[in-house]
Amino acid sequence: MELLEVRDVYKSFQGFMALASVSLSVAQGSFHALVGPNGAGKTTLFNVVTGRVSPDRGQVRFHGRDITGWPTPRVARLGIAISFQRAQPFVSMTVLEAVTLARLGYERKTLVWGRSLARHREAVERAEAALAKVGLEAYATSPVAQLPLGDLKRLDVAMALVAEPKLLLLDEPLAGLSRVERRKMVAFIGNLLRQEGITLLFTEHDTEAVLALADRITVLHQGRVLAEGSPEEIRQNLEVRQAFLGGSI
Amino acid sequence: MRLALLFLLLLVLGPALGEYGLKLASEALILGLYAMAFNLLFHQAGLLSFGQAAFFGVGAYAMALLVSRAGWPFLATLPAALLASALAALVIGFLSIRLSRIYFTMLTLAFAQLLYAVAHKWYAFTGGDNGITDLRPSGLLGESLPFYYLTLGVFALVVGFLAGLARSPFGYALRGLRDNRARAESTGIDGFRHLLLAFVVSGAISGLAGALQGALQRSVFPDYLFWTRSAEAIISTILGGSGTFLGPAVGGAVFLFLRVLVQAKTEYWPFFLGLLLLLMVLFFPRGLGGIFTEAGRRWSTGVWGGAARG
């Protein structure tokens, strides 16, 4: 069953065609990679899915429901979580506070002021559980501002997980990490999401990681879908293209 | 705990202050309320409003009009002033919060100046530049000491409310939106709604301060809505430090006392104020609150020659 469907989406910015006739299906439970050079339209496509950008044409469907043009907070509460490429969670808070806030945002409980954040026991417990899943439980009371980059990414993932999403979008989860950290992160993401049964749509430049993680790959180039298939198919497809085109991607 | 001690001190200090001292202390508390309302937007939500005078003035005029035209008792006008300024904030906030940063600031300034022009010219309703005078509250509240206690009571309530708000999910959501709006919205927090609510709360408290100020001065003039009144909130906050909870209130008190002191000696108060602000921004960007916090930290960690460790 398709969890997310992008149908024939177009988006241009001041004459620049960022996305042209892009279609994409993400099957429930699959790990779907979106690859392509910088400027291929990966981030724009993410923004279209999360509602930060409205497409000029086309549709986004989630669970068969048309969510095109929905505002970001509403998309988020539907079960689509995102972790950003440049993870900059709430720097003025502690780790636990940031994740608790993410949970309360998902529950739409942030317009109340009768009770302090720390006394929303259930949300705090869920936040603690999410931190344990990403291995940050020891840093619960640390200020976010003091975390190193790798931990910030884990924190950002915990903030996404705490909302119990059905679909997780990861924008270059490995950017800025060292080789060792990358390998750990790939294993970590793979194990965690399989365990939780969360569907994944991600972008990544690290080919090795993409091949290790993805069940399915869509190649974007200049705003268009160049190829789609299993990792094996894409590998062959790319080799064929490279043989003819001389490695333009 | 420390807050409770502070209020206790202000409480017992009351009778010791003379007539003039009580007036000045009441005015300091009122300016403190107003500056803290401004700082709710500035520090927690990351919005620089240059139009707080609009709500200060609307609250003051609501009180003045109800007392002088409708004969309401002063105390009953306070909830009305709160409501009127909240409503004004709802409208102005709805129109300005969608704009980003500098445009938001300019639009709030424009709305406040618009209201100033209306109050200044509409003689039939607001009395124009003659203002509304003779607003001494009837009964006990017309006396300085009870009025000081009323102001202190309101101040304590609002401070307690703001402290609770800062720790609540709403306060955290505002900080989240300030820290990283895209991240906050993608966790399900609706930025516009939260900021609008903060704007309304801030406007309502400003209006309450305006109503108290009008009763203290026994009169309300269009300058309650003038942009310099908005600047007072900003100046108090810079002096006291936006990052410290009570900072803006302390800054407001210091601002008032300095003004009285300097104005008694010279006519160059704006010059001294400018110089002071310049020095604060250059050398103590975190304000008086920042200085105290830093001093406290150094004292407890013994950076100053280990004196604290003995």
Q: Model ipTM?
A: 0.88
Mean pLDDT check: name the lowest of A122-136, B30-44, B70-84, B128-142: B128-142
Smallest Cβ–Cβ distance between A117 and the set B168, B184, B194 belongs to B168
Using DSSP's 3-state secondary structure scheme, residue A1 falls into coil
pLDDT in tens, B52-81: 999 999 999 999 999 998 989 999 999 999
Mean pLDDT calculated for residue range B258-285: 88
CATH number 3.30.559.10 given to A1-79+166-249: no
Confidence of residue B310 (pLDDT cuts 50, 70, 90): very low
Separation in Å, CA A249 to CA A111, A164, A234, B264: 48, 36, 12, 76
List, by residue range, all CATH 3.40.50.300 domains of chain A. 1-79+166-249
User: Which one of A47, A70, A86, A113 would you mutate to disrupt binding with B, by most B Cβ within 10 Å of its Cβ?
Assistant: A113
What is the model's pLDDT at position B304? 55
Q: Both ends of chain A: CA-CA distance in Å?
A: 31
A156 chain-B contacts, CB cut-off 8 A: 183
- B10 domain residue, yes or no: yes
| DSSP track, A90-146 | -TTSBHHHHHHHHHHHHTT-TT--SS-GGG-HHHHHHHHHHHHHHT-GGGTTSBGGG
| Residue B306 scores a pLDDT above 50 | no
Ranges of H-type helices in chain B: 2-13, 19-39, 52-68, 74-96, 101-121, 123-126, 144-167, 169-179, 181-185, 191-217, 227-240, 247-265, 269-283, 287-301
The answer for A 115-174 residues in CB contact with B (under 8 A) is 115-118, 120, 156, 159, 163
Q: What is the pLDDT of residue A112?
A: 82
pLDDT value, residue B151: 95
**CB < 8 Å to A109, chain B:** 169
Q: Which of A73, A120, A156 sits opposite B189 (nearest CB)?
A: A73
Q: Mean pLDDT across the stretch B148-161? A: 95
Average pLDDT over residues B135-145: 85
For B113-150, give one letter per residue: b (16+ CB within 10 A) or e: bebbeebbeeeeebbeeebbeebebeeebeebeebbbb
In which residue are the tokens 């506070």 written?
Answer: A97
Pairing of strands A80-83, A31-35: unpaired
CA pair distance B128, B118, nearest whole angstrom: 8
Query: What mean pLDDT is predicted for residues B279-295?
Result: 86
Percentage, residues of chain B above pLDDT 90: 66
Nearest to A76 among B170, B172, B188 (CB): B188
CB A218 within 8 A of CB A30: no
CA of A120: which chain B residue's CA is closest? B169
Q: Going by C-beta distance under 8 Å and a sequence separation of 6 or more, which residues neighbour residue B244?
A: B250, B286, B287, B289, B290, B292, B293
In terms of pLDDT, which residue wins out, A238 or B211?
A: B211
Residue A154 token pair: 């884990």
| CA distance to partner chain A, nearest, from residue B214 (Å) | 30
Binary contact (B176, A105; C-beta < 8 A): yes
Name chain B contacts of A115, Cβ cutoff 8 Å.
168-169
Q: Do residues A93 and B175 make contact, with C-beta atoms less than 8 angstroms apart?
A: yes
Under 8 Å between Cβ of A204 and A236 = no
DSSP alpha helix (H) spans, B186-223: 191-217
Q: Does residue A71 sit at the B interface (CB-CB below 8 Å)?
A: yes
Q: Which of B3-12, B70-79, B217-226 has the lowest mean pLDDT?
A: B3-12
Write the residue in A71, A105, A112 that is nearest to B184 by C-beta: A105
- The CA–CA distances, whole Å, from B272 to B125, B268, B277, B278 equal 38, 7, 9, 10
Distance from CA of B181 to the nearest CA of A (A): 9
Spatial separation of the C-alpha atoms in residues A32 and A210, rounded to whole Å: 9
Q: Give mean pLDDT, residues B242-264.
A: 91
CB B166 within 8 A of CB B244: no
Q: B183 is in which domain, residue-wise?
A: 2-225
Report the pLDDT value the prediction gives residue A240, as an integer from 0 to 100: 65
Please indicate if any CB of chain A lies within 8 Å of the CB of B45.
Answer: no
Closest among B250, B269, B198, B219 to B52, alpha carbons compared: B198
**Confidence at residue A175, expressed as pLDDT on a 0 to 100 scale:** 84
Best of A78, A82, A90 to disrupt the B interface (most B CBs within 10 Å) is A90
Supply B80's token pair: 């009305």
Quick check: is B128 in a domain? yes
A239 vs B293, residue with greater confidence: B293
**Residue in A100, A105, A117 closest to B188 by CB:** A105
Give the pLDDT of chain A (249 residues) as one tens digit per residue: 789 999 999 999 988 888 989 999 999 999 999 998 888 888 899 999 999 999 999 999 999 899 998 999 999 999 999 988 777 889 999 999 999 999 999 999 999 888 899 999 999 999 999 999 988 999 999 999 999 888 898 899 999 999 999 999 999 888 888 888 888 888 888 998 998 899 999 998 888 888 889 999 999 888 888 888 888 888 888 766 766 555 444
Query: Regarding beta strands A224-229 and A216-221, do their DSSP bridges make them parallel or antiparallel, or are they unpaired?
Result: antiparallel
Q: In this complex, do A113 and B178 lie within 8 Å of one another by their Cβ atoms?
A: no
Q: What is the predicted pLDDT for the residue at B125?
A: 86
Most distant CA atoms of chain A, gap in Å: 66
pLDDT of residue A245: 53
Q: How would you classify the pairing of strands A16-27 and A2-13?
A: antiparallel
The alpha carbon torsion through B99, B116, B281, B279 (nearest 10 deg) reads 170
Between CA A57 and CA A41 the distance in angstroms is 15
Residue type, A102: A
**Please, is A10 exposed, middle or buried when counting C-beta atoms within 10 Å of its C-beta (0-12, 13-18, 19+)?**
middle
Predicted confidence (pLDDT) at residue B307 exceeds the cutoff of 50? no
Chain B nearest-CA residue for A74 = B188
Q: Count of domains in chain B? A: 1
Size of interface A-B (CB pairs under 8 A): 113
Highest mean pLDDT among A83-92, A217-226, B131-140, B287-296: A217-226
Position B177 pLDDT exceeds 70? yes
Q: How far is A100 from chain B (nearest CA, A)?
A: 9
B interface test, pick of A47, A49, A50, A72 with most B CB neighbours within 10 Å? A72
Give the distance from CA B97 to its chain's centroid: 20
Q: What residues contact residue B233 under an 8 Å CB cut-off, 6+ apart? A: B34, B35, B37, B38, B52, B206, B248
> Does some domain include residue B238?
no
Question: What is residue B129's predicted lDDT score, i.e. its pLDDT?
Answer: 85
Predicted pLDDT at B302: 64
Within a domain: B138: yes
B120 and A CB contact within 8 Å? no
Check: CB of residue A155 under 8 Å from CB of residue A87: yes
Q: Which two tokens stand for residue A114?
A: 């009768």
pLDDT band at B12 (very low <50, low <70, confident <90, very high): confident
Contact at CB, A105 and B168, closer than 8 angstroms: no
B41 three-state secondary structure: helix
Report yes or no on B75 lying in a domain.
yes
This prediction has a pTM of: 0.90
Separation between Cα atoms, residue A9 and residue A45, nearest integer Å: 9
B137 and B74 Cβ atoms separated by less than 8 Å:
yes
Using DSSP's 3-state secondary structure scheme, residue A66 falls into: strand
